[in-house]
Structure 1
Amino acid sequence: MTDAEQIRALLQARADALHARDAAAVAAFLADEIITYDLNPPLAHVGGPVQARASLDQWFATWLTPIGSEACDLQVAVSGDLAFAFGLIHLAGTKTDGEEIDLWFRSTVCLRRIGGAWRIVHEHNSTQFYMDGSYKAATDLKP
């Protein structure tokens, strides 16, 4: 299996763990020192799998259904022990309050081969916002 295929498999396994709301499995793909720029505040999340797992457990508790997470047009580039992947992510499901989530957002994942295994060392997820003065998140966009 090529490095790019390994990374695609890792990202699919992480999406499967997200679908199952398995915080330990999602966090297992992270490096000990990861910095994430995610959709939720604060601007930067610093920590490793232990911190991520606690945060994920809290977030998963707000979902009624499994969480759909599908990458669209995923691109993977590898050079030695460093790699990055980017694409659009479709997140879908139902929250415990009945809200139906159907969100597309941008995602970039940076990976490093550590101890022979690929680990996520940085992730940046973002949505666009309307530049009409409202600064409202553009969560209604679809590819």
Structure 2
Amino acid sequence: MSSTDEIDAQEISTVITAAEAAMKDADAQRLIDRYTADVVKFDLAPPLGRRSDDARDVARQQAWFGTFDGPVDFQVTQLEIEVGGDVAWAHSLNRMSATPQGTDFAFEMWFRASYGLRKTPDGWRIAHEHTSTPFYMDGSLRAATDLKP
């Protein structure tokens, strides 16, 4: 990896891991600012996908934060980045833990994330994000949210 690619990879890492503090602080704007204007997102929650302004809906994200009592603990782990000029891709295993509003217990889940990034005049931004959980193929079709790396 060239020194330019190494600098880009560090900037990309900063963009992706900025979600950790933004989630803990319930800062929807900071979370959304990491995306390009034409971002395509395939989130854990329905629908199957969102694009552009729909994917960058700060009010929706802020409302989601309001469904929890206290902060959302979020951690990006095993992040791997590949840079190729003005585009890059990355993937990670992420952990999220929070206490749903009205309950007295926190959940913890691990999930997969893939990112496509583009270098913009404002720096690296996420142009595509895909998060998913595996499911048990034992006939139950139950999401495997109990898995840990």
TM band (smaller chain): over 0.9
Residues 25-75 of structure 1, C-alpha deviation per residue, up to 9 Å, x if partnerless? 111111101111110111111123884312211110101121111112110
C-alpha distance in 1 between matches for 2:70 and 2:36: 28
Q: Which residue of structure 1 aligns with residue 65 of structure 2? A: 60
Letter of the structure 2 residue corresponding to residue 115 of structure 1: P
Percent identity between matched residues is 36
Q: Which residue of structure 2 aligns with residue 39 of structure 1? A: 44
The question of whether the paired residues in 1 share the 8 Å contact of 2:75 and 2:94 is answered with: yes
Q: If the length of structure 2 is used for normalisation, what is the TM-score?
A: 0.89
Q: Which residue of structure 2 aligns with residue 105 of structure 1? A: 111
Q: Which residue of structure 1 aligns with residue 3 of structure 2? A: none
State the secondary structure of the residue aligned to 1:2.
Answer: helix
Q: Which residue of structure 2 aligns with residue 118 of structure 1? A: 124
Q: Which residue of structure 2 aligns with residue 76 of structure 1? A: 81
The question of whether the paired residues in 2 share the 8 Å contact of 1:127 and 1:138 is answered with: yes
Which runs of 4 or more aligned residues in structure 1 lie more than 3 Å from their structure 2 counterparts after TM superposition? 48-51
Q: Which residue of structure 2 aligns with residue 130 of structure 1? A: 136
The question of whether the paired residues in 2 share the 8 Å contact of 1:30 and 1:48 is answered with: no
Structure 1: 5+ residue runs without aligned partners?
none
C-alpha distance in 2 between matches for 1:76 and 1:50: 23
Letter of the structure 2 residue corresponding to residue 94 of structure 1: T
- CA drift of 1:96 comes to 1.0
Structure 2: 5+ residue runs without aligned partners?
1-5
Letter of the structure 1 residue corresponding to residue 146 of structure 2: D
The question of whether the paired residues in 1 share the 8 Å contact of 2:88 and 2:118 is answered with: yes
Q: If the length of structure 1 is used for normalisation, what is the TM-score?
A: 0.93
- CA drift of 1:2 comes to 0.3
